Structure 1
Amino acid sequence: MNIRKLAEGLYIAPQLTQADAADAAALGIRSVICNRPDGEADNQPDFNQVRQWLADAGITNTAHQPVTAPAINGQDAARFQALISQAEKPVLAYCRTGTRSALLWAYHQVQNGLPAAQAVAAVKQAGVDLSSFEPRLQAAATNGLPDK
């Protein structure tokens, strides 16, 4: 199991497997957000398959918000935060490695006053290195993210 706590009520993970779905249910996860596009890799289960695994494990609150890290914009960050806000907690967000999900969280945090270095440090505690994104996070804190 590679499910890591990022913040109160929010966990992140790399691509989920059937075993991970059961582990998430055992942790008490109530909602799952997938930030990985279907078909990104040949050996990747599509979101409908993961959704079925989650449902079989008792988790039926799911959302698919596929993004790619270089193209994340203000609408993506706002939608991610809205999904988390509206979801039954705790929430698990996942992508290929957990980086995109953590980055979406970090963008929202810096736009609400958390210094970029602190956002990067918080994410690092959850096992994800966003140091290469720190300049973009700093820019987002100052100027916001482009809407598209």
Structure 2
Amino acid sequence: MDIRQITDDYAVSGQIAPDDIPAIKAAGYKSIISHRPDNEQPGQPTAAEIGRASQAAGLVFRHVPVVSGQMTQDDVEKMAEALAEVPGPVFGYCRSGTRSTNIFMAAKQGEG
């Protein structure tokens, strides 16, 4: 897991597994947001699996799936809502971390 800090309160990585959750919690994150649609790639953990592991560890979990290369205004609005609802710092993930970065930046730009 390659965690990339985007801001003081937001970081991203590529796909995580349920057994990564303790390390994410130990790093101080309070919430996890998944931007990866289920079944995007064979064998990837589902959002439900990550959500259960997150909740079992005491972390807040949200699933805001974004299709690669097809981010919509609705996706950005859902991300802004999720960021407003969950405690930080927040950890976002997708396949590589790029979508999680892009949607965060778009959601933050909309605050201005």
- Compute the TM-score of the two structures, normalised by the length of structure 2: 0.88
| RMSD across aligned positions (CA) | 1.7
Q: Higher relative contact order by CA 8 Å / sep ≥ 6: 1 or 2?
A: 2
Alignment gaps of 5+ in structure 1: 114-148
Deviation, 1:12, is 0.6
- In the comparison of the two structures, how many residue pairs are matched? 112
Correspondence for 1:63: 62
By how many angstroms is 1:29 displaced?
0.9
Deviations 1:5-37 (A, max 9, x none): 111211111111133211101011111110000
Native 8 Å contact 1:29 1:92 kept in 2 = yes
Give SS of 1:43's match.
coil
Aligned to 1:78: 77
Which amino acid counterpart does residue 37 of structure 1 have in structure 2?
A: P
Counterpart position of 1:108: 107
Cα deviation digits, residues 46-70 of structure 1 (max 9, x gap): 11111122233332x1111111132
1-side partners of 2:86 and 2:23: how far apart?
19
After TM superposition, give the deviation of residue 98 of structure 1 in Å: 0.7
SS at match of 2:79: helix
SS in 1 for 2:43: coil
Say whether the 8 Å CA contact 1:12–1:93 is kept in structure 2.
Answer: yes
Residue pair 1:3, 1:24 contacting (<8 A) in 2 also: no
Report the 3-state secondary structure (helix = DSSP H, G, I; strand = E; otherwise coil) of the residue aligned with 2:21: helix
SS in structure 1 opposite 2:69?
helix
| Equivalent residue number for residue 138 of structure 1 | none
Following superposition of structure 1 onto structure 2, how do residues 122-137 of structure 1 map, counting pairs within 5 Å?
none
CA distance in 1, matches of 2:74, 2:28: 29
Distance 1:8 1:81 in 2: 17
Q: Secondary structure at the match of 1:40?
A: coil
Name stretches of at least 5 consecutive residues in structure 2 with no aligned partner: none
Q: Hey, which of these two has a bigger chunk of helix by percent?
A: 1
Contact 1:39 1:46 in 2 (8 A): yes
Percent identity over paired residues: 28
Secondary structure of the 2:15 match is coil
1:111/1:63 CA distance change after superposition, 3 Å:
closer
